Amino acid sequence: MTSGRRGRLNKQWLWVGLYALTMAIIPNVLANNYYMKMLIVLAINTIIVIGLNLLMGYAGQVSLGHAAFYGIGAYSSAIMTTKYGMSAWLGIVAAILVGGLVAYLIAIPALRLKGHYLAMATLGFAEIVHILFIELREITGGTDGLYGVPAPSIAGFAFDTPQRLYVLVWMVLVICLVMALNIAKSRVGRALRAVHGSEIAAASMGVDTAKYKIQVFVLSGILACVGGSLYASMAGYVSSESFTLTVSITLVTMAVCGGMGNVWGAVIGASTLTIMQEYLKSYNDYNLVIFGAILILAMVFMPQGIYGAFSDLAKKLKHRLQAIPETAGEQHAAS
Amino acid sequence: MPLLEVENLRKQFGGLMAVDDVSFRVHRDQIKALIGPNGAGKTTLFNALTGVDKPTSGKVLFDGADITGKRAHEVAEIGIARTFQNTQIFANMNVLENVMVGRHCQTKSGIFSCMLGLPSVRREDLESEERAYSLLTLVGLEKKAKSSSDDLPVGERHLLEIARALATEPKLILLDEPAAGLNNEETSRLSDTIYRIRGNGVTVLLVEHDMGLVMEISDEVVVLNFGKKIAEGPPLLIQQDEQVIQAYLGQEIEHA
Amino acid sequence: MQFDQLLQFIISGITSGSIYALIALGFTLIYNSTQVINLAQGEFVVYGGLIAVSLYAGAGLPLFAAVLLSIIIVTLIGVVFERLAIRPLINHSIMTLIIVTVGASILFKNIAMIIWGRDPLTIPAFSGDDPIMFFGASIIPQSIWVFGITMVTVVLLQLFYKKTITGKAMKACSINQTAAKLMGINSSSIVLLSFALSAAFGAIAGVLIAPISMVSYSMGGFLGLKGFAGAVLGGLGNPIGAVVGGILLGILESLSIGFIASGYKDAVAFLILLLVLFLRPSGILGARIKEKV
């Protein structure tokens, strides 16, 4: 039994290696700035959606407001670097601290709510934050946004081209993925799933449900902030338009369409939808019409998400394959 | 000193006194049953004991310490585990993982060490897994360890909940109608399991409707009716108690 | 602030509040029959307004015919939406349903942009534009229409709940779906009816507001959210609460323009939403929520 568990774990790290390798090779094949930027956005989205999946898929707590943390991360970085002359690294640290604190403060009252109430509270919170991005002109630059966000550099090597920045984003992505997979299979991961499965039973098993809900909310908020910080470095500027309700919803959609309750679902969802959105841009006005239609169809035909649909299919195929020799044997015996 | 002392416990919902001034004691290594007609307040009492609901007034002492009004997870840490009448299985986990959640109190890894996958986390996990597996063996579900918990029939759900509750290594286990949905053979296996639980040094307090089971295994019985305690004593005496017969007969007549 | 100014803010608050009230009612109806928050609710308002514009200015129908027909068409859209997207998923998780209604709102919004373009459009006011003076404040006649029709709708809905079998069945479903089902109430047709009525209420809001603030494809999202804030303020699930909450929200928002910078006007609604959710999630008229084990 124990050896079986080990075997499964090794296989998981094999997938991580394979994924990391693929993500490292792609830029060498698609070596132009357009694809590089898309790939950076894809990686950033994956980082954020991994956090959202821990929050929603594992702990079952809905957030329609993660664009706020994405924005807080980006603005914190931008303000610290452009207004206070800090290095981009300190910008990322600031983003994590500010975002983590805001997430903590909002989590305490919000996570006492459930279901739709929680969804709408996070949405309301994100709308307020978005309005503040526009209205606090002195520090956020209002509708103009902030320009001249520097790229991080280390020992004289600046991550200042998309190719170079991608190396950094790739590293952060792989670290986040490994951490999320570690949490998922651990005591804390089980506690989160228990909160989702039955809060009252979780509490009766000694799980401090409030504590874990707050922890995972803060963690997902911080991952969104890290994403925002990296985004600011890539784009070189931040403006409120990048952090609207639509962005919150797109992130949630990535989590749901990929498949909730599985870290790989987040990876699949973020990758598929980022590529799809990029591709749909060529349809101009019809872009979002198609996007909306795909969302509805995806939910109607694959409510478990892509990962869920494929693992169901895999299970069925396995059953089929196991059933064939048996029935063949039976027929043989009958004849 | 008794393991659990319930003193003048009251729980009021609006105008309804669901548990009304109930006092009783559970001694170490006892199997004690709580019976009563539907709506007598048995599950409400369980909820008030385990921190799911706050009692309106009264006291709960466990191992001599006042635990009244403690939150559910704190009660679990102190050493009281429970199962649920309407089973509360974690449908998003397999059978083994369900039991491993019960190990939560007995393990310590926080979110940071889990994130980093420290060796201590892995060690703890393996221990938990082995303990969970042996508890599944105790209730006879070891063959289904890797099955989806959502596919289990009702009877096995109750067994899974017992294993999960035992995984918290409690001093006292509260079983809420564990025999619901079991056939005769399964019920007799259940009574063996309950004896074995007691044999492992865990005190048992159970709510049960199956009178055969209650009379067979309990050392003492508490009878509730309309939130009030109407009798307490060994099974043989309870069966002859006027008030108890009245309460149950009254119900029979209503049913007919 | 002087009295006439204050009165002016309150009157404009009641006008926009009536619109929020109609949207809040739509949320309430669907929530009561399905426990779903329909995030596409604001799009019904937009379609109500824009279809009326096309029928009036494009097809040359008389104003009232255009308005009425627009409401009917939007009601049908609501019905189709329920059949195609909600019905198949009714037993799925909240997340799935949220995404579906969000998907629908994105779809509706962008189809509207393709059909009607990006510019705001309008229809004439129902009975002229000459303002009526009232204690030093001026009221445009359309505001009276907005408030009046909202009130008529609310009264009709109450009568429907109290006097008709279907209405009573709908009420029963909102109190206890399982029990209602056991009593032989066809809950699936109740769900359909609730979508039809919500769409109709949205469309009514749309045709009422079009002459005052004009209608553009993109305004559905914010309107929907404010309607929801109104519904929560009054106590989600309570139709009277929805109306009171909606109008109260309109007034508070309007007054906030008088006291705080107008850029924060939209933030007021969301701040109220958060405060109500955090401090009294059952709303001002709702009973405290009891959690079931």
Instruction: Please give the residue range of the domain that contains residue B190.
Output: 4-255
Structure tokens at C114: 């393709």
pLDDT of residue B172: 96
pLDDT tens digit sequence for A300-331: 888 888 888 888 888 888 888 776 655 544 44
Is some CB atom of chain B closer than 8 A to the CB atom of A179? yes
Under 8 Å between Cβ of B75 and A206: no
Q: Cβ–Cβ of B93/A1 closer than 8 Å?
A: no
Residue-by-residue DSSP string for A35-97: HHHHHHHHHHHHHHHHHHHIIIIIT----S-HHHHHHHHHHHHHHHHHTT---HHHHHHHHHH
**Residue C71 three-state SS:** helix
Residues of A in contact with B91 (CB under 8 A): 197
* Distance, CA of A91 to CA of A148 (rounded, Å): 13
User: Among all residues of chain B, which has the CA nearest to that of A193?
Assistant: B92
How many domains, in total, are found in chain A?
1
Q: Which of A117, A256, A289 sits opposite C277 (nearest CB)?
A: A117
pLDDT of residue C88: 85
> Would C8 be classed as within a structural domain?
no
Q: Cβ–Cβ of B90/A203 closer than 8 Å?
A: no
With a pLDDT cut of 70, the percent of chain A lying above it is 93
Is some CB atom of chain B closer than 8 A to the CB atom of A174? no
> Would A191 be classed as within a structural domain?
yes
Please, which residues 208-237 of chain B have a Cβ atom closer than 8 Å to chain A? Answer: none
pLDDT of residue A324: 61
Instruction: Please give the residue range of the domain that contains residue A154.
Output: 30-303
Structure tokens at C165: 């079998």
Please, which residues 109-138 of chain A have a Cβ atom closer than 8 Å to chain C? Answer: 109-110, 112-113, 115-117, 119-121, 123-125, 127-128, 131-132, 134-135
pLDDT tens digit sequence for C99-149: 889 889 999 999 999 999 999 999 988 888 888 888 878 888 899 999 999
Confidence of residue B75 (pLDDT cuts 50, 70, 90): very high
pLDDT of residue A331: 47
- Whether pLDDT at B77 is above 90: yes
pLDDT tens digit sequence for B208-255: 988 889 999 999 999 999 899 999 999 989 888 888 888 876 655 444
Look at chain C and count its residues: 293
Domain with B92 in it: what CATH number?
A: 3.40.50.300
Q: Which of A188, A200, A261 sits opposite B88 (nearest CB)?
A: A200
- Whole-angstrom distance between the N-terminal and C-terminal Cα of chain B? 44
Closest residue by Cα to residue A128 from C226, C271, C225: C271
Please, which residues 125-164 of chain B have a Cβ atom closer than 8 Å to chain A? Answer: 125-126, 128-130, 133, 145, 164
**Residue A154 three-state SS:** strand
Residues of chain A with pLDDT under 70: 1-9, 323-335
Q: Cβ–Cβ of A299/C110 closer than 8 Å?
A: no
Is some CB atom of chain B closer than 8 A to the CB atom of A5? yes
Domain with A43 in it: what CATH number?
A: 1.10.3470
Is some CB atom of chain A closer than 8 A to the CB atom of C3? no
Under 8 Å between Cβ of A146 and A140: yes
Domain with C21 in it: what CATH number?
A: 1.10.3470
| Cα→Cα distances B56→B7, B20, B22, C210, C288, Å | 12, 10, 12, 55, 18
Residues of C in contact with A112 (CB under 8 A): 278
Residues of B in contact with C293 (CB under 8 A): 43, 47, 52-53
> Would C114 be classed as within a structural domain?
yes
> Would C291 be classed as within a structural domain?
no
pLDDT of residue C258: 78
pLDDT of residue B255: 44
Instruction: Please give the residue range of the domain that contains residue C25.
Output: 17-279
> Would C191 be classed as within a structural domain?
yes
Is some CB atom of chain B closer than 8 A to the CB atom of C293? yes
* Distance, CA of A118 to CA of A64 (rounded, Å): 9
pLDDT of residue A1: 43
Q: What is the pairing mode between strands A153-154 and B4-13?
A: unpaired
How many domains, in total, are found in chain C?
1
List chains adjacent to chain C, taking adjacency as at least 3 C-beta pairs closer than 8 Å.
A, B
- ipTM more than 0.85? yes
Q: Which of C114, C225, C271 sits opposite A285 (nearest CB)?
A: C114
Residues of A in contact with C264 (CB under 8 A): 131, 135
Q: Cβ–Cβ of C274/A121 closer than 8 Å?
A: yes
pLDDT tens digit sequence for A109-138: 999 998 888 988 999 999 999 999 999 988
> Would C288 be classed as within a structural domain?
no
Residues of A in contact with B150 (CB under 8 A): none
| CA-CA-CA-CA torsion sign (A60, A66, A69, A73) | positive
Q: What is the mean pLDDT of each run of 10 residues along chain C (293 residues)?
A: 84 94 94 87 96 93 94 96 87 81 91 93 87 83 92 92 85 75 77 94 95 92 91 88 94 86 83 90 62 36
Is some CB atom of chain A closer than 8 A to the CB atom of C270? yes
Give the distance from residue B13's alpha carbon to the nearest chain A alpha carbon, in angstroms.
19
Q: Cβ–Cβ of B117/A186 closer than 8 Å?
A: yes
pLDDT of residue A317: 86
What average pLDDT does range B180-205 have in this prediction?
91
Residues of A in contact with B167 (CB under 8 A): 205
Residues of C in contact with A123 (CB under 8 A): 225
Please, which residues 54-113 of chain B have a Cβ atom closer than 8 Å to chain A? Answer: 71-73, 75-77, 81-82, 84, 88-93, 97, 100-105, 107, 109-111
With a pLDDT cut of 90, the percent of chain B lying above it is 70
> Would C1 be classed as within a structural domain?
no
Give the distance from residue A90's alpha carbon to the nearest chain C alpha carbon, in angstroms.
31
> Would A44 be classed as within a structural domain?
yes
Residues of B in contact with A182 (CB under 8 A): 114-117, 121
Is some CB atom of chain C closer than 8 A to the CB atom of A176? no
Give the distance from residue B251's alpha carbon to the nearest chain A alpha carbon, in angstroms.
31
> Would A100 be classed as within a structural domain?
yes
Is some CB atom of chain C closer than 8 A to the CB atom of A280? no
CB-based burial, A287-321: b 16+ in 10 Å, e otherwise: ebbbbbbbbbebbbebbbbbbbebbeeeeeeeeee
